[in-house]
Structure formats: C-alpha cells, structure tokens
C-alpha cells in the first residue's frame, strides 16, 4: 500500500478507534505488577500515534480509562491517574512537534484536580495541530454520554446530526467528529465495552489476541490494509450485485 505522500494515502479522514486492552494481563504473565503493563502501554500508544500520523489517519480515538474502571483496586486507579497526568505532560509536547491535536473526552468532575489541569494545558498547547486529531477517552462511558445528550435534547426536532452535536458536548468535545470507520481491540476480547457505541454504528472491527504492549506499528498498518480491502455497504447491497 503506497503511503509516499500525504495526498496519496487512502486513510486521510479515516477515524480509527482503539480499545487498548491487555496491559495488566501482559504484566502479570511476566511476573510484573499491573502498573508496569500500563507504563508499557503508554509507550505502545506513542508508537501507534506516530504511525497514524504518518499514515495520514484523520482521527484516532484511544480508550484509556472507562467509567467502569473506577471499580478496580484503589492503588491501581491512583497509579493510573498519575500515569495519565505525566503522560499528558510529556506526550503533549510530542503532539505539538508533530502537528497532532489532542482532545480528552469523557467526564472530568471525578478526575483528580491535577489531571484536569494537565488536560486543559495539553489541549491548549496542541490546539492548532492539523496532521491528526488524537482523542483520548478518560472516565468515559458511551451509554452515560448518550443519556446526558438525550437529557439536553429539549423540544427541538431531532436529527442524527443534532444528536451527534449534543453527544460531543456531553463529552467535552467541541468538534464534530465523524463516525468510527475502523475499531481495533487488542487483548483477545471481542466486545465494545461501552466505547463509542453511537459512533461505531457502521464501524469495521479488527480484533487481535496480542496484548496492547505487544501491539506493533506493523500490525496497525496491517489492520488499516485489511480495512481498505473490506466492502462497506452501509445497509446497501454488494456492489457486484447492484451492477
């Protein structure tokens, strides 16, 4: 697949969502604490963001911390919050250098104050990035987002476009985000886990048994290549049947 120039990429404008699963299991299988897996997962995320930028992917949404993850042991949650804050402070500078715009979606009222400050600073620093829109979901639940959007619908006539706007507002996202084109999940599980339910209505799925720390740029590009070969009908009939 030729990717020698930005204009030649078939992925310009494509929205890829990734459920980065398997950090803890990867660490435990090696006799390491689960937090070591999360730190390794951050390094993998960095490589995939860089690969997505080179491939001219339009939007990349990473599932970093779900609303259900609050039920994990308190020490692990605390370590994750600190890791997210440090990662935002470091990775936002990389995003700035590479023209990546960083947005955080999900609730903020339950996050530590220091993390909220880091979010605001990272978003402001990268606000002018145009090469890739990187969205990171923290304290995110698709079902809760849909419920909050519905609660603010009011009496105006409802359209998909209008509801999508309300959904963006519910997630602290000021942008009109296209639907997910390709959903990737690592770790061997084959479910959405409350991630981008509205936006994944016609997403193509790619599941891999590799744990997230093992996920490579090569497999990411292979997933994009497989996506390019799929026929997307959006409820229509196959092209050959219609001809």
CATH of the domain at 21: 3.40.1180.10
pLDDT at 241: 42
Whole-prediction pTM = 0.90
d(Cα 238, Cα 161) in Å, to the nearest integer? 26
pLDDT at 153: 86
| Residue 2 is assigned to a structural domain of this protein | no
| Residue 239 is assigned to a structural domain of this protein | no
Asked whether 131 and 110 are in contact (CB, 8 A), the reply is no
> Would strands 59-66 and 15-19 be described as parallel, antiparallel, or unpaired?
parallel
| Residue 83 is assigned to a structural domain of this protein | yes
Catalytic residues: 21, 69
Kindly write down the DSSP assignment for every residue of 127-171, as one continuous string: TT--SEEEEEEEEE-HHHHHHHHHHT-TTSPP-HHHHHHHHHHHT
Cβ-Cβ contacts under 8 Å for 71 (sequence gap 6 or more): none
pLDDT at 10: 64
Task: Please count the structural domains in the chain.
Answer: 1
* Sequential pLDDT tens for the chain (243 residues): 333 334 446 667 899 999 999 999 999 999 999 999 999 999 999 999 999 999 999 999 999 999 999 999 999 999 999 999 999 999 999 999 999 999 999 999 999 999 999 999 999 999 999 999 999 999 999 999 999 999 988 777 888 888 888 888 888 877 667 899 999 999 999 999 999 999 999 999 999 999 999 999 999 999 999 999 988 877 777 765 444
Domain span including residue 89 = 9-228
| Residue 29 is assigned to a structural domain of this protein | yes
| Residue 238 is assigned to a structural domain of this protein | no
d(Cα 195, Cα 182) in Å, to the nearest integer? 13
| Residue 242 is assigned to a structural domain of this protein | no
Helices (H), the chain: 23-28, 34-54, 74-97, 113-125, 142-151, 160-170, 217-229, 239-242
């Amino acid at each position: 697949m030729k990717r020698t120039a930005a204009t030649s990429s078939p992925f310009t404008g494509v929205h890829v969502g990734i459920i980065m699963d398997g950090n803890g299991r990867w660490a435990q299988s090696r006799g390491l604490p689960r937090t070591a897996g999360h730190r390794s997962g951050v390094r993998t995320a960095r490589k995939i963001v860089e690969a997505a930028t080179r491939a001219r992917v339009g939007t990349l949404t990473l599932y970093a911390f779900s609303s259900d993850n609050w039920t994990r042991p308190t020490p692990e949650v605390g370590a994750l919050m600190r890791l997210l804050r440090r990662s935002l402070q470091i990775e936002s500078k990389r995003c700035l250098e590479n023209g990546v715009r960083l947005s955080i979606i999900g609730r903020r009222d339950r996050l530590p104050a220091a993390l909220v400050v880091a979010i605001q600073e990272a978003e402001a620093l990268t606000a002018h990035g145009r090469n890739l829109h990187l969205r990171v979901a923290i304290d995110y639940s698709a079902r809760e987002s849909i419920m909050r959007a519905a609660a603010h619908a009011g009496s105006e006539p409802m359209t998909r476009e209008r509801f999508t706007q309300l959904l963006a507002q519910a997630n602290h996202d000021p942008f009109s985000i296209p639907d997910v084109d390709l959903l990737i999940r690592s770790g061997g599980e084959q479910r959405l886990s409350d991630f981008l339910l509205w936006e994944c209505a016609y997403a193509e799925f790619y599941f891999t048994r590799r744990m997230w720390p093992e996920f490579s740029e090569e497999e990411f590009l292979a997933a994009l290549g497989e996506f390019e070969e799929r026929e997307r009908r959006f409820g229509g009939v196959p092209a050959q049947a219609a001809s």
